[in-house]
Amino acid sequence: MKKGWIIALGITAVIFIIGFIIVSWGVSRYNSFVGLNEGVNQAWSQVENVYQRRADLVPNLVATVKGVANFEKETYTAVTEARAKVGQIKITGDQLGDAQAFQKFQQAQDGLSSALSRLLVVSENYPQLKANENFLQLQAQLEGTENRITVERQKFTQVVQEYNIAIKRFPSAIIANFSGFKEKQYFKAQEGAAQAPKVQF
């Protein structure tokens, strides 16, 4: 009789220890996912900050360009409209897994990038604009901001990749799915970015 109790207690202890190890592992994985998710949210916040910095430069840039006689009205109108679109589309950390919302955000930002590029290209035809100190300072700030955008997008992509890998690996994927951790979206290259620009002389 005593031997049966000892065996039963031993089996119970082993089951308890195994259960404790599994629960501890699950809690550890969950906490790891929480940390990775917060890292993604923090990186996203930095991306939004640099995009906002660029959007804040646009009104001053457009006002400076408008001051130049005969400057193409459609060019700075396109920039103003693109900035307005950017202001209408916001994404929270919870929406980073929504492919459609993320795509709309990226399209709006890419639209503003294209409009600003056209503005700067057209400005080359206006010597008085190229000699304007205010325009030159704004142009330099815009170039610096574009560089920051590239850096922050790259950092964002790295933390999203780390997060996505963590939630997809087996057996951690079981905890991720059960806890509601979903895949986050990456930035994609603009259409036509893979093709080299044509240069004509």
Annotated domain spans of the chain: 38-171
Concatenating the DSSP letter of every residue in 76-144 gives HHHHHHHHHHHHH----GGGGG-HHHHHHHHHHHHHHHHHHHHHHHHHTT-HHHHT-HHHHHHHHHHHH
CATH number of 38-171: 1.20.1440.20
pLDDT of residue 161: 94
What would the mean pLDDT of 182-187 be, rounded to a whole number? Answer: 90
What letter represents residue 102's amino acid? F
pLDDT of residue 196: 39
As a whole-number percent, the residues of the chain with pLDDT over 90 amount to: 30
As a whole-number percent, the residues of the chain with pLDDT over 70 amount to: 91
Least trusted range by pLDDT, from 51-55, 87-91, 113-117, 129-133: 129-133
